[in-house]
Chains A and B, each alone.
Chain A
Amino acid sequence: EAAVTQSPRNKVAVTGGKVTLSCNQTNNHNNMYWYRQDTGHGLRLIHYSYGAGSTEKGDIPDGYKASRPSQENFSLILELATPSQTSVYFCASGGDWGGANAEQFFGPGTRLTVL
């Protein structure tokens, strides 16, 4: 059974609209991450969280907010979506400690298109 799930799997939004991407994990990991994947840019970290109630800015946080209401759930929010945010978004859990235990477990991804 999948330990990291994302919804929706595909989303088409209009410019200026609000988009919420959801992620749920059953790994009981403290840490969760949101990445976007674009050709030529690899995986880029948007926001991450150390646990319920915490959110931290990653490398490219502009235009995104995050929410961690519980251990299991981590949402990525685009308040005013723009076409430049068209991408594939991955959620991951894990990496509760650095070093060898930094392995992260990824969800299936959400393909977002902003028109």
Chain B
Amino acid sequence: GDSVTQKEGLVTLTEGLPVMLNCTYQTIYSNAFLFWYVHYLNESPRLLLKSSTDNKRTEHQGFHATLHKSSSSFHLQKSSAQLSDSALYYCALSGITGNTGKLIFGLGTTLQVQP
């Protein structure tokens, strides 16, 4: 079945360093849609960015990701980490069409940015 893998459970960085959170996926559907959700403490999880276009960079709020179907990857990146980026990040997959709408989430990666 479909699955999403986020290898790192915790990433700790010093402010100003680049961020890269890994996400790989498996799906039998060629038309995969990938999402990154961010969950700040005491807030609701919310969509950060999404993509379905192979090799196209998607950007939002300083973060970017590129869907690479050849390697089934959708890594989240940012050039310079800020303290306010500390949060839990989920990669998610929707690999099917039709009226289902279910998302398959990875286990999440906690990003801790230190001064």
Contacts and interface: CB of A to CB of B under 8 A. Distances in A.
A106 B94 contact: no
Interface residues of A, number: 28
Interface string B101-112: 111011110000
Contacts of A90: 44-45
Interface string A41-69: 11101001010000000000000000000
Contacts, number: 76
A42 B103 contact: no
Contacts of B13: none
Interface of A: 4, 30-31, 33, 40-43, 45, 48, 50, 90, 94-109
Interface of B: 9, 31, 33, 35, 43-47, 50, 52, 90, 94-103, 105-108
